[in-house]
Structure 1
Amino acid sequence: MLTDTEKQQKNMVEAKHEEIKLKKFIGIKPKSVKLPAGELIKNDYLQPEQTLPLVIKPNINDIDIIDWAKNNREFLSSKLKHHGAILFRDCNINSVATFEKLAQAICPELFGEYGDLPREEIGSKVYGSTPYPEDQAILFHNESSHMHCWPLKIWFFCLQPAQQGGETPIVDCRKLYQLLNSQIRETLEKKQLMYVRNYIEGLDVSWQDFFHTSDKTVVENYCHKAGIEFEWLPNNNLRTRKIRPAIVNHPYTGEKVFFNQIQLHHISCLEATVRESLLSIFGETNVPRNVYYGDGSAIEDAVMAEINQVYQQATISFPWQQGDVLMLDNMLTAHGRFPYIGPRKIVVAMGEMMNSVDV
């Protein structure tokens, strides 16, 4: 039995202990617990055994995909190198601003100085898709592979799918390399490619719009630094030539990839009536764009026919769903666009700029 005084002392000691335990608990710094990526998202494919693209969907409700992407950059980088393309679907990406945040979560330094694409009013480093006739396809290409620098990563965000068509077909550039005839591969690796572009006022993008200047000296300095040959033409027009490879080694995986814009530039790939019209008016030398072997000789019709057939054989396409985000490794995967009917809104972001010296 305790006296009243002893009981009071006991209570005071116990209270002191509780106070000390509470202070210790409050003083403990919280530790972040990182759940495995697979517990928050699920990986899937559009078709069984079709590994391009990898599809990422939420595995739980109300996932913050931007926060998840920021905390799982290594996971995404590894998957992108393996598959070449990742499709984010059902991830509640519903605005250009949210799309830009997702791209920046993966690649903090987005590219904001692209010359060919119109800039979106919302988002400082997001662009509208190429202004190209709706009833015509945009042929396969690796973005800016004809230039001295290009984005390694590129994102497409579907704000509004077309009523009909408008898919963004993709191809595995490693598979293209493997499918090509070995003799064609050897020739392309040896000779490389020469891209010729004529900036003709009223026919294609003007050099003033592309280079964002009306000062010829600025253009000339840019071309010197980028290793681009240039020639000023009558009527204030400009012609440029740039030699670039057709086949390269990926800087991180080391794999051989078919990396170029042959289809997008070669005049034989134009619609027949358009090609005939351009040739009759301007002649082959002055068409807006064309591509040759690096020594200036013409790429044979048989070579172009096989290249086109290989692209067709490797094509993968899927209907856009509103809110889809497609992320590509621009060296592992080429892209295009099918014709479409009805309003369509796809916006683009680019990042991790590479230079000729990097590969």
Structure 2
Amino acid sequence: MGFVEGKIVEEKVFGGKVFPKTLLPGNTCDLIEMVRGDRQWLSDLLQQHGAILFRGFGISSAEDFAHVVEAFEWDDMPYMGATTRVKVTDRIYTANEAPLDQLINFHHEMSMFKEFPSKIFFFCLEPSPEGGETSILPSHIIVEKMEEIMPDFVAKLSQVGFIIRLSTATDADSGDKVISKTWKELLKTDNQMEAEKRALEKITCNSVEFHADGSAEFIFGPMDPIRELGGRRVWFKPMLGYTSNERDIQISFGDGSPCPPEAIEAYKKILDESCVDLSWQKGDVLLVDNLSSQHARRPGKPPRVILVSVCK
């Protein structure tokens, strides 16, 4: 007997599909061999449900987790972003080095880069004693509900797009922030001309502005945050910063007019009401379709050790 369908109290149902799909062991706990035997079925299941939670398989180390990832035979993808991750072993990194009391807002992994992963794995080595949930959300639900609640706003976005300004850390910022890298660390050069060249090659921005405090702003758009991926219209570009710090992101319509505050509030409400806050158990492996689902991190308390791996 292979995988057994499970249930978690946090799960929700969207369009008749449970989110996330939970799989438990049958008469064997060898997740690696089970993945090898049912690789295509699992890939199809992920596309249908947007996220799969593997629970109860006794995965207990970064090395075990790496073997699970490798069993799927998806190509590795190097991480690039303004947050800090530490490599643990081949293909495996810490999820984020920011203090656990800080929120990391909903986003698609590396959505502001020209190349982004199609899948992201999470592994719980040590759950937080309080809080620290990883939140997930089907991104097409955001589109559907925003079109229902704020139809004029979404229509204008499709016509004129919006402009996003994302800021890096300053030279004076310490490493205890979610946005922890300066432009020099992110782009691996201290030359502004070379940094702009690399940014335009790797990031979907249109221009870069450098500031005296050592920070930089990447300017994106005008662009439509909604994209069609995997046959669904998803809200792929963020309307909120990765943190609750308003300095991290500024948005406006493509014609320069401000985005109405009620649209931002409606967006936030949809995220909060539609998401699944996954309470981790030690050994959990969560596989997320990055083309269809967003993820976030709720504030928690140490110790909490979540590892990640991203795939092309």
TM-score (norm 2): 0.85
Match of 2:192 among 204, 207, 216: 216
Structure 2 distance, partners of 1:338, 1:264, is: 14
Contact 1:157 1:324 in 2 (8 A): yes
1:76 equivalent in alignment to 2:76: no
Q: What does residue 57 of structure 1 align with?
A: 24
Assess, with a 3 A threshold, how the Cα gap between structure 1 residues 258 and 59 changes in structure 2: closer, same or farther: same
Q: Give 1:283's aligned residue.
A: none
Candidates 254, 258, 272, aligned match of 1:294: 254
Within a 5 Å distance, the mapping from 1:194-205 to structure 2 comes to 194-199=163-168, 200-203=170-173, 204-205=180-181
Provide, for residues 216-273 of structure 1, a one-character-per-residue CA deviation record: whole Å limited to 9, x for no partner: 34422222324531133335543221224311111x3x111122221235xxx73xxx
Question: What is the CA–CA distance in structure 2 between the aligned matches of 1:232 and 1:261, rounded to whole Å?
Answer: 22
Alignment of 1:168-317 (within 5 A): 168-180=134-146, 181=149, 182-199=151-168, 200-203=170-173, 204-226=180-202, 227-228=204-205, 229-234=207-212, 236-243=214-221, 244-250=223-229, 252=230, 254-264=231-241, 270=244, 275=246, 287-317=247-277
Secondary structure of residue in 2 paired with 1:341: coil
Match among 68, 77, 80 for residue 102 of structure 1: 68
Say yes or no: does 1:115 pair with 2:92: no
CA distance in 2, matches of 1:113, 1:159: 20
Q: CA deviation at 1:327?
A: 0.8
Comparing 331-340 and 110-119, the one that deviates more: 110-119
Counterpart position of 2:177:
none
- Give 1:5-16 correspondences, 5 Å limit: none
SS at match of 1:136: coil
TM-superposition CA deviations, 1:86-122 (whole Å, max 9, x none): 0011112111111122122224311124233444343
Number of the residue aligned with 1:44: 6
Amino acid corresponding to residue 46 of structure 2 in structure 1: L
- The answer to whether the 8 Å contact 2:240/2:249 transfers is no
Quote the Cα distance in structure 2 between the aligned partners of 1:45 and 1:339: 24
The size of the alignment, in residue pairs, is: 294
The answer (yes or no) to whether the contact 1:158–1:346 under 8 Å persists in 2 is: yes
1:291 positional shift: 2.8
Q: Paired residue for 2:106? A: 140
Describe the SS at the equivalent of 2:276: coil
1:262 partner amino acid: M
The AA in structure 1 aligned to 2:60 is: N
Query: 2:44 & 2:74 partners in 1: Cα distance?
Result: 17
Structure 2: gaps of 5 or more residues? 174-179
Q: 1:54 is matched by which residue type in structure 2?
A: K
Q: Letter of the aligned partner of 1:42 in structure 2?
A: V
Correspondence for 2:32: 66
1:124–1:217 CA distance, 2 compared to 1 (3 A):
farther
Question: What is the Cα-based RMSD across aligned positions, in Å?
Answer: 2.3
- Distance in 2 between residues matched to 1:150 and 1:49, nearest whole Å: 27
> Distance in 2 between the 1:117 and 1:106 partners?
26
Structure 1 letter corresponding to 2:35? A
Measure the CA separation in 1 of the matches of 2:308 and 2:256.
Answer: 33
Please give the secondary structure, in 1, of the residue aligned with 2:259.
Answer: coil
Q: Identity over the aligned pairs, expressed in percent?
A: 24
- Where does 1:321-332 land on structure 2 (aligned, <5 Å)? 321-332=281-292
Unmatched segments (≥5 aa) in structure 1: 1-38, 276-286, 353-359
Work out whether residues 166 and 341 of structure 1, in 8 Å CA contact, stay in contact via their aligned partners in 2: yes
What SS does the aligned partner of 1:190 have? helix
Separation in 1, partners of 2:300, 2:114: 32
CA distance in 2, matches of 1:235, 1:119: 24
**Which amino acid is 1:124 matched to?**
D
| Alpha-carbon distance between aligned partners in 2 of 1:124 and 1:219, rounded to the nearest angstrom | 28
Task: Report the AA paired with residue 231 of structure 1.
Answer: E
Q: In the alignment, residue 219 of structure 1 is paired with which amino acid? A: A
> Secondary structure, in 3 states, of the residue corresponding to 1:320?
coil
1:300-339 deviations in whole A, cap 9, x for unaligned?
Answer: 1011011111112202123100010111111211111111
Match of 1:150, SS state, is: coil
Structure with bigger gyration radius: 1
Question: Is the helix fraction higher in 1 or 2?
Answer: 1
Find the residue that maps to 1:262 and give its secondary structure.
coil
